[in-house]
Structure 1
């Protein structure tokens, strides 16, 4: 137990002085004592020991005091730094343009800047650190600056505000008195506190309102200008059936002064001003009931008869904002015209019928003119082929004669030139058929293997002469196509590939797809420039300025494109300059029986030089006969009536070799009259008919009875 003379609160100096005093007193006592020397010495030893203990205790106290002083110094520094940070935070918050307040996790106000709550004058003075959030909301709800909804009590507003406070983040706009607006944004902090920002939107909303007002004014001006330019009188009514806009034409149509059409005029009052007019198509009470409808209004239409005989058509239409618009049109002239038209109805019907017939004839002529060029080319090319064939025969006979060397060379060149012309004319025939849309198609199952084998044999020598590696890969695919046109497509693609490939190879192969195959013709030629990839499919367009007429006239790819389009076979081109080209035709796989490629057995021979005019009003029968004849190699000119046939022949200026005329052609010329005229012009003609009457059989025009026997038809074509 510590001696009562030693007080822990004493400074070291005081404690030392006390100990010195005690030591001196003990020494005196020892000296003055009457006991023996041993007791005195013991007392002295104890005094010395006590002094050492006091000295050690004093050192400990000094060290503890020093540590306490250092801790107090560090605490002061931390408090100063915290106070400085708080001051900096307060200064930073004060620089924020918006009102700022921070509530802690217990919903107590920690701090707020001077702008927070300023729009609410009575609230601003109540904001103190430690204020509860609920008290803040209650003070706002009671503020005179807060513009609450009509009939809303302060406690109702406070309750709704506290419900929003439960959300983690919320933003809403508060209306204040004096046309002021405040946006409130509330967010939770990571420690569970709440940050609130007050943004003054008054100027933004006022500017937006002003701009909207200008826009509406501009729209109103444009609408007014539009209404004033209308020939109809127009009145626009709002959802309360009050007039909000109209044009001057409305007053003119109704013969009312403008003073009787003020803005705000009720629709019922307007109806009262026209009550003296005769109403047709509705009653004024029905019109008033229509305007009073609360559900969407149907279209309204009725007429007013003015005392001067003028007729006004009235149309009403609902608007999305529950208003409606009513137009008034003076249709007096139309009514007068209708009466005049009614009086001349019979004459007008005749004129309309005549005009309709003229238009139909004009349309027919236009359609004929559209196809005339292709038909003329077909007919003219056919006529040219006959003298060309004769010329070739004459040159062939000269080749058998013993001619001088130069004359023999000339004969060979002439024969080659005529062959080139013959090929060009054949291509023109193909183009004319495809362009006219009357190419006879016989679509069915076609085996690619035999077709590719024949093409390999046909083009092999041509490729060998140029030193090209020419390969045609075998295929067992059976496709759905027209054998003749498919052969022509592949002929042109392979011929072009060999013609334009100077060295390298030409490969023809079949790639299998899902439900289809793609026949590809690949060459190592010069490739096709980007600018030429569409042009190469035009007639008479050849790639390369040095191509000569002996190498074709640029019709091959035109035929390929049109034939592929007619058959529905997609055609693709992939090319690269200096690397070659790849043409690909996609063909659907066939599902039916295999269709032979060759000409059917029993087909008559030697009919390829004939042109036959077929006049048949039954489209299906006409098409069937055309397919049969074109399968025999005959060129067919089709017509659905006698008038069309005669006009067509007059247009192309060529008389066909044979004529097949249906006896019963319907309206217009009958078949016999057409046949007589053609027979008189020198054409061999037959009537095709199911009529078995003796009078018809005994006429001057021969008859092929229906159903037509192919043998009899072939005999007529061959012998005339």
Structure 2
């Protein structure tokens, strides 16, 4: 009833005053009309009701005012909290080591920290909230601190920068004057704003340059030159799915972050990063690519078409290499795909171009493989040529050591022998590295007890450990494993030698732990430990820690061989080290329950000092120095020697003197394409099955098998006098078989003595 008299737009105080006035007027009217009629009572009741309504309305208004005051207080607190949050955000951005800026959806800068644009002090003062993105790009392009690429102008650079801004996520590097680099990471926010992060990556780029310079050799330079001239992004992975090479075109196509595009990054990690931005053609998927990479059998060529960020179309081609690694190429076909939408007639031409480029890549890889094979052949040939004079030198030194020398010459002789032993170990390591890298290394897996390898290693290294004052403990293990015993022995030999070399005091423990179906063979030492940042470096060639000690032993090839041999055998290799507490290397081998291959019989040492007493040895060696050195050494042991250069000279000499030798010591590589196996066969054909040994620098498994099949001993160059002496003890002495049809062949009595003197005279005359 009071609605026509009250304006809802009035304040609560004005409405209360109107209601009170209405009530007062009504009360007066009631009092005046009290005597007129009974209607006055009704008016009075109505006035009371109005008063009650006014009181209720007043209470409601008071409650509303209280809620309004409370809301205002909460709003003030929220505003203060927002201010604090904004201040905290500003402080957090200032604490970030990188430059940071945020642009809103209208490409206007909202905020930035003090490090944003710090590499360009000439424009730093203008980088502030309210700056448009267009103006920001213009300022950067015109900065005196921006090092533009060759042939690039500030305008063209700015245009390319604006094109990159259209992508949702982008990473690229900017070169600054003074050979400094900044990585710019630009990401779109959910509200279509843009966050920009500037990171100084100068140290990373310089370190990567240094690492690349260390690894470059002739082969790498050839491959790099080939890849850099291909208009495709190329990445190469090894058989462990690790990145080992790429070209600049790949970085331009995919814009990867610096921490991902590094040697050793796994394929799965790269696929996880780029897969979020890739759209595959029908019937193709990320899972299919991953399955292709992890396929154990031979991979068929893989061809894909993907779209990156909905804009860039890429043809992806994958090809397996002979060493089970693989190559993936990326071809930017965005222009072609856009042209196909309008001109489908050029489809065949585009396919032919892709095919031609793929064939060009295959040709380049074949060239690289041929270069690698040539390098391996060169290393093998050079090593053989070096082993010949080294072998002669060691034999001459052994002859000197057996003479009655005074103390000073004897010490010098021992030092020379030690130096030659070091050279020999380096050459052996280089041969192993060359064989493992070339892919020519073959393994012969067999089952054998672990003690077959551990026991000889204990006997081999105990003297060296005692000499250094170390406690070497080799814990025996009867578990049967499946591996190549030769390679496994070389792995453990290098690990034990490494542990002894780097341990100044304490002990070295070698043992095995059973782990389900595998056996973990472990080598632990109490040495100085390996720092975290050196644990990948130690497996590279010619890398040694500074803690090697003053002796300077080793050249840093042992662990490189260990890593390659473990990869060849598929034996996982693990490392655990604590600086100041020691290091442990663990090699996991598959256990076996199959039949055990019998262990080679141990050759006992013959009693006495003269290993070859009353023995005649025929030495066939085309190198004059090696032949003379071996003859001199054998004669110091009491062995009578016929030494000749080839098969024909050997047969002629034996027919002339009428005496058959007790032992044949024959070099494998002779002149005019002849080889020692054929020479031994020819001599045995005429004089019967003579005991024989092949002496060679060739370490192939096929040659060893041929010697085993023919019952011929095998001795590697450079010749170790101890091994040669043991070989004589194993093969001789034997009775000399009679020469067919020649009564002069008897070795007893005066006739035999004359024949021997004649042979000795003939040999000396031949040497002169």
Q: Which structure is larger by alpha-carbon Rg, 1 or 2?
A: 1
Both proteins in one fold, TM over 0.5: no
When normalised by structure 1's length, the TM-score is 0.38
